[in-house]
Structure formats: C-alpha cells, structure tokens
C-alpha cells in the first residue's frame, strides 16, 4: 500500500486502459446533467456595517453551507494570476514537480491519495498540499521555486486569506448574535491555513471516474478559488446534486465540519464533489482554515440552551480523526453527533 506510484497526470498521458483503482461501476462518475444552483453572493466589504448583508450570510450558511464571496479586496486579475500560477506548476516537467514529492504517510507536498485498502477508489486528481500559515510552520522545501513568482504570490495570498477568513468568522459570530471573537478565539490565534492546489487532468471515462469523492471539509471554513472556465464542482442540497457556478471574481466559501460543530449545527458543512471532464483539464486552489491542533472545538456556549442542547461532542485535532474515518469510508462528523 502507500502512495500511488504514478501521478494521475502520467496515467492520463499514457492513455490506454485506465487502472481498476479509478473505475466505479456504471454511472458512478456522477451526472453532469444537473441544474446549476444559485449560491448566494455576499459582499465581504459590507459585512462589518450592513445588517442586511449579515442576514444574507446567515441565511446562506444555514441553507446552503456556502456562499460566493465578492468584494474581498482582491481583483479578478490577481485571482487569475493565482489560477495561472497553479496551472503553470502542473505544466512543469514531471521531474521538476517530483522535487516536491509528498513522502508516504505525509500529507504535505506534491502527490495524490495514500492508498489504505484494496477497496479504495482513487480520485482523478493530483495536488500540491502546503501549510501556508503560521509562517514558521511552512516547509519551504516543498514550495516550488518554479514558476518563479510562486512563492511570493502564494505568500501574499496567504496573508490576504488570513484576514478575509477572520472577517468572515467574525461576521458569522455576529450573525448568530454572539460576541464577534467567539469562533476565532475557539480556533486559536495560531490557527492554520493549509493550501491545496489541485489539477484534474482530462479524463477518458468521466462516466466511471470521479474527480473528488463526495465529502464535507475537515476545516472550520474553506475558501475555494475555482477554475474560471471549467465547471465540475457540485454541491448537495436537500439530497440533490447541483452544479456550483464559478464566478471569476468570487471565492466560494464553505462551512467545514468544525464550524458546523462550533455553531452547534446552526451552520451546515457543505457536502460537495468534483466531476471529471474529457475535454479539458481543471484546476482549483482551496485554502482550509484549520484550528490550532491542541484547541478544543465544541458547540459555543451561547448556542446551547434547553430548546437546543449540545448536539456535538467537543473535538481536538479533528483533521486527524476525520482522515482516519474517511479512509474507512465513514464520516467523522456523524461520529461527533450526540444522540438524545
């Protein structure tokens, strides 16, 4: 077992028979033939002053588990530059990318899924996973020196995402009538940002192969920069799959399992998946806001009362728990729910 020996990009380039490891039974690649969903658009610049915008945020996170964040202080040209740099990294020769190869049983670096069992099915993507923040925790050896601007632009993006996520977490608290620092304090001053740059190569059998399996994120919140031209991301709402639109100037922000837990279920971790495409490759850049490892994350006091008891147990280092369950095909969030 261990890591896949080849990258998905290599498998895609070789052509021929796709390894069994990627193939689901008929139709399990998911259907493209589903409607788009109108995910609410929230103006981040208005969250501090407009109660209407705050209400919109609350309703989006309650009903969809996500929103499209606009007016966050980054121009579309800047976001396109990040998309470009992501694409450029994956276009480098394999030998160059392999300098940043993820070691077995590590999660940081360039690679794809660790293989834990014979039953496991592979996601059709390669990625570069990097710890972005706090700065002292960066493993610069795994940060590409090519494209040349990679390190500086990703450094700058980390700082921007740090401040945007704090604005959002504070607004989330206020939208629940809580003191604005409730979430950020629970997650800790040294909460982490992890970046996941992903490439979904062209896929020969989109009907049988999945880009990313259905999942909720293990983060508190995730800020996702989607490919500006290729769709593929789908969101589950009321037990139905919908296509998530990509808005060039927006970040798609979703609730992860840990904000569902802290909000005592007021906000729902958005279940999502990614389809594959035979025509064009797709990239994305997800940044996960993850609490400090030794912080206790549980339903906030102000959200527990007689009519709404504590619905989740308090967790610590949830990402670890999440991964253990994930590889057994189970959902960690389900295991944290308290049954009354």
Ligand X SMILES: O=C(O)CCC(=O)C(=O)O
Interface with Fe ion by CB under 5 A: which residues?
217
Q: Is 48 helix (H, G, I), strand (E, B) or coil?
A: coil
d(CA 45, CA 250) in angstroms, rounded, equals 13
If one asks whether residue 284 binds ligand X (CB under 6 A), the answer comes out as yes
Q: Which is nearer to ligand X, 175 or 226 (CB)?
A: 226
d(CA 83, CA 85) in angstroms, rounded, equals 6
Query: 């929103």: which residue's tokens?
Result: 67
Instruction: Tell me the β-bridge partners of 279.
Output: none
Give the burial string for 325-337 (b: 16+ CB within 10 Å, else e): bbeeeebbbeebe
Binding site partner of 233, from Fe ion, ligand X, none, Cβ cut-off 5-8 A by kind: ligand X
Q: Minimum distance from CB of 234 to ligand X (Å)?
A: 9
Binding site partner of 295, from ligand X, Fe ion, none, Cβ cut-off 5-8 A by kind: none
- CA 195-42-292 angle, to 5 degrees, is 35
If one asks whether residue 217 binds ligand X (CB under 6 A), the answer comes out as yes
Q: Tokens at residue 80, please?
A: 């396109």
Q: Are 200 and 257 in contact (CB under 8 A)?
A: no
If one asks whether residue 272 binds ligand X (CB under 6 A), the answer comes out as yes
Interface of this chain with ligand X, residues 230 to 259, rule: CB under 6 A: 233
Burial environment of residue 178 by CB neighbours within 10 A (0 to 12, 13 to 18, 19 or more): middle
Helix ranges (H only) for the chain are 8-14, 51-63, 76-91, 94-97, 150-175, 182-187, 257-262, 318-327, 332-336
Size of the site for ligand X (CB under 6 A): 11
d(CA 132, CA 108) in angstroms, rounded, equals 11
Q: Which is nearer to Fe ion, 182 or 250 (CB)?
A: 250
Q: Phi and psi for 222 in degrees, rounded to 5?
A: -125, 140
User: Can you tell me which of 72, 138, 192, 196 binds ligand X, judged by CB under 6 A?
Assistant: 196
If one asks whether residue 286 binds ligand X (CB under 6 A), the answer comes out as yes
If one asks whether residue 191 binds ligand X (CB under 6 A), the answer comes out as no
If one asks whether residue 276 binds ligand X (CB under 6 A), the answer comes out as no
Q: Which is nearer to ligand X, 138 or 273 (CB)?
A: 273
Q: Which is nearer to ligand X, 165 or 198 (CB)?
A: 198
Q: Minimum distance from CB of 55 to ligand X (Å)?
A: 27
If one asks whether residue 131 binds ligand X (CB under 6 A), the answer comes out as no
Binding site partner of 198, from ligand X, Fe ion, none, Cβ cut-off 5-8 A by kind: ligand X
Query: 């632009």: which residue's tokens?
Result: 153
**SS3 letters for 193-221?**
EEEEEEEECCCCCCCCCEEEEEECCCCCE
Q: Which is nearer to ligand X, 212 or 258 (CB)?
A: 212
If one asks whether residue 83 binds ligand X (CB under 6 A), the answer comes out as no
Q: Minimum distance from CB of 273 to Fe ion (Å)?
A: 8
Instruction: Tell me the β-bridge partners of 225.
Output: 285
Q: Minimum distance from CB of 134 to ligand X (Å)?
A: 21
Q: Which is nearer to ligand X, 53 or 126 (CB)?
A: 126
Q: Which is nearer to ligand X, 187 or 197 (CB)?
A: 197
Say if residue 226 is preceded by a cis peptide, omega within 30 of 0: no
Q: Which is nearer to ligand X, 61 or 224 (CB)?
A: 224
Binding site partner of 284, from Fe ion, ligand X, none, Cβ cut-off 5-8 A by kind: ligand X
List residues binding ligand X (CB under 6 A). 196, 198, 212, 217, 224, 226, 233, 272, 274, 284, 286
């Amino acid at each position: 077992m261990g890591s896949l020996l080849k990258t998905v990009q290599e498998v895609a380039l070789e052509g021929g028979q796709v390894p069994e490891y990627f193939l689901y039974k008929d139709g399990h690649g998911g259907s493209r033939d589903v409607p788009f969903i109108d995910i609410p658009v929230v103006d981040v610049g208005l969250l501090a002053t407009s109660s209407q915008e705050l209400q919109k945020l609350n309703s989006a996170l309650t009903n969809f588990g996500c929103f499209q964040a606009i007016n966050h202080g980054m121009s579309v040209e800047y976001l396109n530059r990040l998309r470009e740099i992501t694409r450029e990294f994956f276009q480098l020769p394999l030998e160059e990318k392999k300098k940043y190869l993820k070691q077995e049983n590590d999660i940081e670096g360039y690679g794809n899924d660790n293989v834990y069992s014979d039953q496991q099915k592979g996601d059709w993507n390669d990625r570069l996973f990097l710890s972005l923040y706090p700065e002292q925790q960066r493993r610069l050896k795994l940060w590409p020196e090519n494209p040349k601007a990679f390190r500086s632009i990703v450094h700058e993006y980390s700082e921007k995402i740090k401040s945007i996520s704090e604005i959002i977490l504070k607004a989330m608290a206020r939208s629940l009538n809580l003191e604005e620092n409730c979430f950020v304090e629970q997650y800790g001053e040294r909460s982490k940002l992890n970046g996941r740059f992903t490439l979904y190569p062209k896929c020969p059998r989109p009907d049988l192969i999945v880009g990313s399996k259905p999942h909720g994120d293990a983060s508190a919140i995730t800020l996702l920069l989607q490919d500006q031209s290729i769709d593929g991301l789908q969101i589950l709402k009321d037990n139905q799959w919908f296509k998530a639109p990509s808005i060039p100037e927006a970040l798609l922000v979703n609730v992860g399992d840990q904000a569902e837990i802290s909000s005592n279920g007021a906000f729902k971790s958005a279940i999502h998946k990614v389809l594959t495409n035979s025509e064009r490759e797709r990239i994305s850049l997800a940044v996960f806001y993850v609490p400090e490892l030794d912080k206790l994350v549980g339903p906030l006091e102000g959200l527990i009362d007689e009519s709404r008891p504590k619905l989740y147990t308090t967790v610590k280092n949830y990402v670890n728990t999440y991964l253990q369950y994930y590889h057994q095909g189970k959902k960690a969030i389900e295991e944290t729910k308290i049954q009354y």
